[in-house]
Amino acid sequence: MNTKKGSVSRMCKVLNCRNLKSASVKLYSLPKDGVRRDLWLERMNLNYINDTNLKNLYVCSDHFLTGKPSGEFHKKTC
């Protein structure tokens, strides 16, 4: 496996959110689990994104009530 890091700047892909990773903002990649991943996409209105883009998709901690993906997802426009 050939994995390159650092070539793409990570940014939250939720609409109207441009958060970058920072001290107060964490970025999370999508769950590998299909059901949960679909739920994320649905809540984020990102259903239009195709599979090839999913691996570059990140969601910032602003969109989770607890600040972590294990918590309840909530829709927030920054």
Residue ranges in contact with Zn ion by CB under 5 A: 12, 14, 17, 19, 60, 62
Least gap, CB of 1 to Zn ion (angstroms):
29
Least gap, CB of 13 to Zn ion (angstroms):
8
Q: Which is nearer to Zn ion, 12 or 30 (CB)?
A: 12
Q: Which is nearer to Zn ion, 18 or 36 (CB)?
A: 18
Q: Which is nearer to Zn ion, 2 or 77 (CB)?
A: 77
Least gap, CB of 10 to Zn ion (angstroms):
11
3-state secondary structure the chain: CCCCCCCCCCEECCCCCCCECCCCCCEEECCCCHHHHHHHHHHCCCCCCCHHHHCCCEEEHHHECCCCCCCCECCCCC
